[in-house]
Amino acid sequence: MNFRRIMKIFPLLSLVVLSFVAMGCYPEHNQSTFDPKGPVAEAQLVIFWWILIGGVIVTVLVEIALIYAIFKFRRKNEDEMPKQVHGNIRLEIIWTVIPAIFLAIIMVPTIQTLFYASEAPKSALPQHTLEAIGHQWWFEFRYPNPENPEEEIVTANEVYIPVGYPIAINLESVDVIHSFWVPKLAGKVDMVPSEGNYMWFEADEPGEYYGQCAEYCGESHANMKFKVIAVPEVDFNAWLQYQAQPAFESGDPLALEGADVFKDAGCSGCHATKTVVKKGSKGRVGPNLAHLASRQDLAAGMLDNSNPDGSVNDSYLQKNLRIWLEDPNSIKPGNIMSAQAAVYTDENKKLTEAQISALVNYLTSLK
Ligand SMILES: [Cu+2]
């Protein structure tokens, strides 16, 4: 293709690219940072605008100077050589001082916001704390048990918070570095193995806020999502109390059979169904399944079981569980369950159709 042809399609190409870029910025999108729903994300957005506006002013000034110089000092005809200069102390001081002033101005709100985001404000309200633990490729959450400070309530991939309260979050990882990001509530913070990290956020209004791992952590990094569900405090307390209850025991014969398969097929080796654990104890390889059927998604946001109003639809859940158990790898490439569970690695131990049906029935009963 010759240069002319490229120049002809260039405007069209840039339009297409620009429209894709703009699609990522529309504020209503659940992972857009342009419509913050909490004070931390708001403060960070203000910094973004300061830096963007400062950057635009500097860019425009530099471009104007550049274009001016190009025209003013260009070679006017073939036999005239423009004046050759080297160095200009006054100019150099000016173009060092102006950006320095801009940086100094932007530094003030930046440092303020750094301090603001680094620790939850001490308020009269009781503080809620939360442990978030990154695993390849899902998130474990633990709450202090209000009934017993020595214990923690465990769940996965879906986290409830009370609206209007600062939530202090301790971040950890059991394997590689992950990053905890809920764009509408706060900027990302790394989850570093054996090196605790900390952040806080607060939701101003009830809603579902999508989260995402934001640090490349292996094959299914892009499939490592979670949900923050902000609800009024009474609902939060009810939810937490409910999560602390033991898993529901169904009397349905197929579910009972499924519970047996769950033990016999080695599922319980990686999945706990006990909700309350000793504080700081090591979790298992896979997500806690005690109240799996009360969660909107399966496999860290990969399969949606919910009705439009957020309630769990049992028939979606059953369908999704079947898809997951038949071949987890087709949903989440490289996931540890298909890589390590004997029922997927050993042809002789493969789950039968009947076993899958029993498991689906049992897991759907875990409300
Ligand atoms: Cu990741």
In a domain, 46, yes or no: yes
pLDDT for residue 159: 94
CATH number at residue 287: 2.60.40.420
User: Do 137 and 190 fall within a single domain?
Assistant: yes
What domain range is 163 assigned to? 128-244
User: Do 258 and 275 fall within a single domain?
Assistant: yes
User: Do 281 and 339 fall within a single domain?
Assistant: yes
Provide the number of structural domains found in the chain.
Answer: 3
- Please give the distance, rounded to the nearest whole angstrom, from the Cα atom of residue 54 to the centre of ligand 1: 32
In a domain, 1, yes or no: no
Q: Which amino acid, one-letter code, is at 242?
A: Y
**In this structure, what token pair is assigned to residue 80?**
């005239």
- Please give the distance, rounded to the nearest whole angstrom, from the Cα atom of residue 132 to the centre of ligand 1: 14
- Please give the distance, rounded to the nearest whole angstrom, from the Cα atom of residue 143 to the centre of ligand 1: 22
CA-to-CA distance for 212 and 302, rounded, in angstroms?
Answer: 12
User: Do 305 and 263 fall within a single domain?
Assistant: yes
User: Do 145 and 196 fall within a single domain?
Assistant: yes
In a domain, 3, yes or no: no
CATH number at residue 85: 1.10.287.90
User: Do 167 and 230 fall within a single domain?
Assistant: yes
- Please give the distance, rounded to the nearest whole angstrom, from the Cα atom of residue 214 to the centre of ligand 1: 6
pLDDT for residue 24: 65
Collect all residues with Cβ–Cβ distance below 8 Å to 167 and sequence separation of at least 6: 120, 128, 129, 130, 161, 200, 201, 202
In a domain, 11, yes or no: no
**DSSP H or E segment with residue 265:** none
- Please give the distance, rounded to the nearest whole angstrom, from the Cα atom of residue 136 to the centre of ligand 1: 7
- Output the tens digit of pLDDT for each of the chain's 367 residues: 577 777 788 888 888 888 877 766 677 788 888 999 999 999 999 999 999 988 898 899 899 999 999 999 888 888 888 888 888 999 899 989 988 998 899 899 999 999 999 888 877 667 789 999 999 999 999 999 988 989 999 999 999 999 999 999 999 999 999 999 999 999 999 999 988 899 999 999 999 999 999 999 999 999 999 999 999 999 999 999 999 998 888 889 999 999 999 999 999 999 999 999 999 888 889 999 999 999 999 999 999 999 999 899 999 999 999 999 999 999 999 999 999 999 999 999 999 999 999 999 999 999 8
- Please give the distance, rounded to the nearest whole angstrom, from the Cα atom of residue 190 to the centre of ligand 1: 10
- Please give the distance, rounded to the nearest whole angstrom, from the Cα atom of residue 135 to the centre of ligand 1: 9
User: Do 114 and 133 fall within a single domain?
Assistant: no
- Please give the distance, rounded to the nearest whole angstrom, from the Cα atom of residue 191 to the centre of ligand 1: 10
User: Do 75 and 162 fall within a single domain?
Assistant: no
- Please give the distance, rounded to the nearest whole angstrom, from the Cα atom of residue 188 to the centre of ligand 1: 12
- Please give the distance, rounded to the nearest whole angstrom, from the Cα atom of residue 138 to the centre of ligand 1: 9
pTM of the model: 0.88
In a domain, 198, yes or no: yes
In a domain, 40, yes or no: yes
User: Do 135 and 209 fall within a single domain?
Assistant: yes
Collect all residues with Cβ–Cβ distance below 8 Å to 353 and sequence separation of at least 6: none
- Please give the distance, rounded to the nearest whole angstrom, from the Cα atom of residue 193 to the centre of ligand 1: 13
Locate all alpha helices (DSSP H) within the chain, ordered by sequence. Answer: 3-23, 39-72, 89-118, 233-244, 253-264, 267-270, 314-326, 328-331, 336-340, 342-345, 353-365
Q: Which of 211, 244, 277 is the last residue of a domain?
A: 244
- Please give the distance, rounded to the nearest whole angstrom, from the Cα atom of residue 96 to the centre of ligand 1: 39
- Please give the distance, rounded to the nearest whole angstrom, from the Cα atom of residue 14 to the centre of ligand 1: 30
- Please give the distance, rounded to the nearest whole angstrom, from the Cα atom of residue 267 to the centre of ligand 1: 24
Q: Which of 118, 144, 174 is the last residue of a domain?
A: 118
In a domain, 49, yes or no: yes
Q: Which of 59, 94, 118 is the last residue of a domain?
A: 118
User: Do 136 and 112 fall within a single domain?
Assistant: no
- Please give the distance, rounded to the nearest whole angstrom, from the Cα atom of residue 272 to the centre of ligand 1: 23
Q: Identify the sign of the CA torsion 47, 170, 189, 297.
A: negative
User: Do 57 and 111 fall within a single domain?
Assistant: yes
Tell me the CB-side half-sphere exposure of residue 250, using CA atoms within 13 A: 22
In a domain, 17, yes or no: no
User: Do 91 and 186 fall within a single domain?
Assistant: no
- Please give the distance, rounded to the nearest whole angstrom, from the Cα atom of residue 37 to the centre of ligand 1: 24
